[in-house]
Amino acid sequence: MQEDHVRRCNAARHVATAFANTAALLYERDLKQMPPKRPRHVVPFVVNASFAVELFLKALSHRHGVSLRGHQRLKLYDRLPEDASLDIQSASARVAAQTVPPQFQNTRQALSELNNAFVEWRYVHEKQELGPLNLGSVVLLVKVMHEACATSAV
């Protein structure tokens, strides 16, 4: 693998992990229980989780020698090299096996729900309405992406 791709993979993975950790903190502390303790923290949770997923996808692409640009999660996912997609499938199976009952939908479906969330949720104050978003699925998707990057780390 080219040295530049290794550097970019590691850089994207580290930053993605920081955004994922922030989202996890917000979820565990403020949103996990019903009703949520601080519902206003849904927006920063979604923005941080969505950006983490984008960066994990880009880290995986670099891990496999490809540079991807853009912000739509589905387009990034669809342009991943086959080996990167296999890393995600394997991580998805491991995460699903750890949840009781296994509840993770397929990765593509979870990504479609989060596809434009980074832009849409950052400007939620300008929107009349947002589409539905399952916070539990977002948490699991971030875990899948983190796991895929962790197991394929360089």
Question: pLDDT below 70 — which residues of the chain?
Answer: 1, 100-105, 128, 152-154
Look at residue 100 in the predicted model and tell me its pLDDT: 66
**CB-based contact 42:34 (threshold 8 Å):** no
Q: What's the pLDDT score for residue 105? A: 63
Confidence (pLDDT) at 154: 54
Q: For residues 149 and 20, is the Cβ–Cβ distance under 8 A?
A: no
Backbone angles phi, psi at 64, to 5 degrees: -105, 20
Q: How many CB atoms lie under 10 A from the CB of residue 34? A: 6
Q: Work out the end-to-end distance of the chain between its first and last CA atoms, rounded to an integer number of angstroms.
A: 10
The correct CATH number of 3-151 out of 1.10.8.80, 1.20.120.330, 3.50.50.60, 3.10.20.600 is: 1.20.120.330
User: Rounded to the nearest 5°, which phi and psi values hold at 97?
Assistant: -70, -25
Contact 96, 102 (CB under 8 A): yes
